[in-house]
Chain A
Amino acid sequence: EELPYRPALTQTPKLEGLVTASTFVVDQPRCFFDKYNNADIWLVVALDKAASTFNNTAAPGTPETAFQNFPDTVSAYMTLNATVANYPCSRPARDITVLRVGSETSCAGDKSRPTCNGPLPGPGPYRVKFLALQGSEPVAETPWSAPITLRTAKPPSKIPMTDRGHSAGMIAITTILSILFAILLAGLVAMLVFWGSDSCGSSSTFSKPESVTVRRYNTHHVYDQPAARL
């Protein structure tokens, strides 16, 4: 019997690790297998191109459906054995009801665990479906999911370095300081060149405080006195 539920990647809550390089997360098929109390519900993971050729009579736990042989000799494997008790219809509000495909790393190479939920070996694309077996009879299944493609990591050398550049502040600092420094150097050169000669503005030459002032005062005083008397 084909159930009306199509397995899909989990939409709520939003998960950062929904799809990684070797795992992905699908919703649990709650409320759909209620009628099949005695059945084992398996998750079938297949390569996209092999999904249509999968035979429902395949038995789980055999080399033909072993995870360890995927994808070399086997194009679909069966994992995540569960019963209706694992997928009760009442969904507790706070719990997250998902299945993470690819989370068991300890049995990934262990041939004695053919139903291992091991990390997926490549980016895919993959399709999944749920299959309920009573004994070895398939009694219910879901349609295949949409193709799921995993992430591929790029090397760090591919990081785009487009945000490098010079900010306006740095350019302003450089130009203004260069101009100021150039003016100061020009001033220094002018100073040294005109060292010997009288500088411009000689009317405002100021003297050292000690030597000349007294004499000037005297001259001024002598000048003024006759004028005042007259």
Chain B
Amino acid sequence: MAKSDDCVHILQGLLVFGNVVIGLCGIALTAECIYFVSNPHGLYPVLKASENDIYAAAWIGIFVGLALFALSILGIIGVIKASRTLLLVYIILMLITFAFEMASCITAATHRDSLTPSAFLKEMLERYQKSEPANNSDNEFTKTWDELMLQNHCCGVLGPSDWQEYTSAFRDTHNDADYPWPRKCCVLDAQGLPVSLDGCKLGVPGYYNSNGCYDAISGPVNTHAWGVAWFGFAILCWTFCVLLGTMFYWSGIEY
């Protein structure tokens, strides 16, 4: 019987430990998702534009993190008091949270896959410097792209040739001879004017930005999307083990 009690205590200890870890991970997940949603790189208008919203996964993550923290406290109480009802409520609510977090992980991974250079290119060509902006988001879009090209010293998605290979909203209002690519692609001086306008129009190395901006966009997006997806996946694997242990514990409690 002592041995059985020891087993009980070990199992209880493990479950309490498991729940503590879940609680801490829940807080960490909430913090990470809040950081992502707070738009630290100023890329939100560019990402929001594509029809998939990568922020949905982060929003779900915030609430799932808080739920995990609350449920972990419930779980600790239920394990220590060995209460069947508490633990049953805990298990059912945890399963619901599990389902939501699963949705968040899969959403983050799927949407990350859809943010390809082609998708960004199409978006940029159709919306950058659109002459009659349909709504405020087009103005935001243009401003965000200008900031992006200015700060990262880049041009277009794959390079300045994006503006040459495809027609665009920009091309509709700016003729090809004067503006082979937007002025923001030129190397600018302290006043914000091109160092050499002719050099920029000719495409002389050193007077224009020859890199594409895709790396500058995809870097932060990759970090955030995989952060949400893989961290959530790790939490769910751990939660799976704790829930199995809880179910086993529950089935052994006398009522």
A and B interact physically: yes
In the complex, A154 has a CB within 8 A of chain B: yes
B122 part of interface (Cβ distance < 8 Å):
yes
The residue in chain A whose Cβ has the minimal distance to the Cβ of B243 is A184
Q: Please state if A156 and B126 are interface contacts (CB–CB under 8 Å).
A: yes
User: Chain B's nearest CB lies how many Å from the CB of A67?
Assistant: 13
Asked if A155 and B203 sit within 8 Å, CB to CB, the answer is no
From residue 124 to 179 of chain B, which have CB atoms closer than 8 A to chain A? 125-126, 160-161, 164-168, 171, 175-178
> Does the CB pair A206–B161 fall under 8 Å?
no
Closest-CB distance, A93 to chain B (whole angstroms): 15
Q: Is the interface of B mostly helix, strand, loop or mixed?
A: helix
Stretch of B29-37, B99-107, B187-195 on the interface side: B99-107
Asked if B244 CB lies within 8 Å of chain A CBs, one says yes
Which listed residue, A154, A181, A188, A206, touches B166 by the CB 8 Å rule? A154
A208–B86 alpha-carbon span in the complex (Å)? 14
* Interface contact A173-B233, CB-CB below 8 Å: yes
> Is B91 at the interface (CB under 8 A from chain A)?
yes
Give A121 Cβ to nearest chain B Cβ, in Å.
Answer: 11
Task: Provide the B113-127 mask, 1 if CB < 8 A to any CB of A, else 0.
Answer: 110111101100110
Write out the residue numbers on chain B whose beta carbons fall within 8 Å of the beta carbon of A176. Answer: 233, 237
Q: B70 near A: Cβ within 8 Å?
A: no
For residue B89, CB closer than 8 A to chain A, the reply is no
- Expressed in whole angstroms, the Cα–Cα distance for A98 and B198 within the complex equals 11
Closest to B113 in A: A167
- Residue of B7, B82, B175, B240 ringed by the most chain A CB atoms within 10 A: B240
A206 and B202 within 8 A (CB):
no
Closest A residue to B178 by CB, please name it.
A105
- Find A22's partner among B121, B177, B236 (CB 8 Å cutoff): B177
Contact B125 A188 (CB under 8 A): no
Q: Is B166 touching A159 in the complex (CB atoms < 8 A)?
A: yes
User: Does A214 reach chain B (CB closer than 8 Å)?
Assistant: no
**A contacts, CB < 8 Å to B:** 13-18, 20-23, 25, 96, 98, 100, 102-103, 105, 119, 151, 153-156, 158-167, 169-170, 173-174, 176-178, 180-181, 183-185, 187-188, 191, 194, 199, 201, 203-209, 212, 216, 220
Task: Please name 22 pairs of A and B residues whose Cβ atoms are closer than 8 Å in the assembled complex, sorted by A.
Answer: A16-B161, A16-B208, A17-B201, A17-B203, A22-B176, A96-B202, A103-B177, A153-B164, A153-B166, A158-B166, A170-B112, A177-B236, A188-B92, A188-B247, A191-B247, A199-B252, A203-B4, A205-B252, A205-B254, A206-B8, A212-B254, A216-B1
